[in-house]
Structure 1
Amino acid sequence: MSSLIGTLEADVEISASADKFFGVMCTAPFKLTTIVPDIVKSCDLLDGLWGALGAITQWTYVFGGVTQTVVLAITSVNPFTKSVTYGLIKGDLSTEFSTFAVKINADQKLVGTTVHLTFTYVKLTDNVSTPQALLDLGVEVIKALGAYLTYAYNAV
């Protein structure tokens, strides 16, 4: 019998600055709809202010060829450490997880940034798969955003 409680983590190296990356992921995630339109279809603010603690957003995204929707709230935000955590309120993930949190931390290096992505979750049943494929999708989005920011701010 596997555990219902889990954590998955990934580190992604990008060339963009931690400030620019955090700026999009925390205060302007709606920009992902133009950066990775094949994955993020919409990101709408339902309540609060973009990037503020308690802000509620609704995301529509494509995962495994299926369009899904999730409503998330910012449960933690720290602009000094470039960290934001989104917690699950409702949506398609609620059919498999009682709790699901996505933490994104951008750590500026001498050259580039290390983005640490963490999923913490509680599965509803033992039959629910570990969300590795969803973590892989998150890594893909991070890489695409990093490449976009690097190009956008280094283009002549």
Structure 2
Amino acid sequence: MASQSVGKLETDVHIKATAEQFHDVFCSRTHHIANVCPEKIQGVDIHEGEWGSQGSIVYWNYVHDGKKCVAKELLELVDTENKKFVFKVLEGDLMEDYKSFRFIVQVFPQEEGSVVHWIMEYEKLKEHSPDPHTLLQLAIDVSKDIDAHLVAQPDAV
């Protein structure tokens, strides 16, 4: 029974921007994401620490499945060399369905562009809680919006 309550979803998003550009925006200039796709991400604020620093607390206002949601997240890991970062959800709408929730993101450089590898690890509060497929789609859509913005205006984010 416990194995059904623990889940993991992952996907790759191919982008034209470099791994450095994407990692920098998502990790160090996270607050700019709301400017890039305001219909999906309404705001990103720092509550503790500094942008892009491990241990900082980030507060997200976003739209998921047509509903305004919030998430308070700990930037648990920042690995600039490997273009990897991990957000652990501390509070917010996701905690209504999940006991724990982590976003693990790593960006791999390619000959042209890069690949953003998203992993969502979660433990459901109840067995019938949904798997976060629509949240994974939101992550894909936001990744593509950031990529389009970086390609159109590489220095503007």
Whether TM exceeds 0.5 here: the answer is yes
- Cα distance in 2 between the residues matched to 1:68 and 1:111: 35
CA shift for structure 1 position 6:
0.5
CA shift for structure 1 position 154:
8.7
Establish whether residue 29 from structure 1 lines up as the match of residue 63 from structure 2: no
Query: Structure 2-normalised TM-score?
Result: 0.95
Residue 100 of structure 1 aligns with an amino acid whose one-letter code is F
- Considering only aligned residues, what root-mean-square deviation do their CA atoms show, in Å? 1.4
Aligned to 1:3, the other structure's residue is in SS state helix
Matches within 5 A, 1:1-156: 3-153=4-154
CA shift for structure 1 position 110:
1.1
Superposed structure 1 runs of 4+ greater than 3 Å apart: none
Percent of matched pairs sharing the same residue: 29
- Give the 3 Å change call, closer, same or farther, for CA 43–111 of structure 1 in structure 2: same
Residue 121 of structure 2 aligns with an amino acid whose one-letter code is T
Aligned to 1:93, the other structure's residue is in SS state helix
Q: Which runs of 5 or more structure 2 residues have no equivalent in the other structure? A: none
**Alignment deviations for residues 78-134 of structure 1 (CA, whole Å, 9 cap, x no partner):** 000000100011011111101000011111111100000000000000010100010
Residue 70 of structure 2 aligns with an amino acid whose one-letter code is T
CA shift for structure 1 position 153:
2.2
- Cα distance in 1 between the residues matched to 2:90 and 2:155: 38
- Give the 3 Å change call, closer, same or farther, for CA 14–39 of structure 1 in structure 2: same
Q: Which runs of 5 or more structure 1 residues have no equivalent in the other structure? A: none
Residue 60 of structure 1 aligns with an amino acid whose one-letter code is N
Query: Structure 1-normalised TM-score?
Result: 0.96
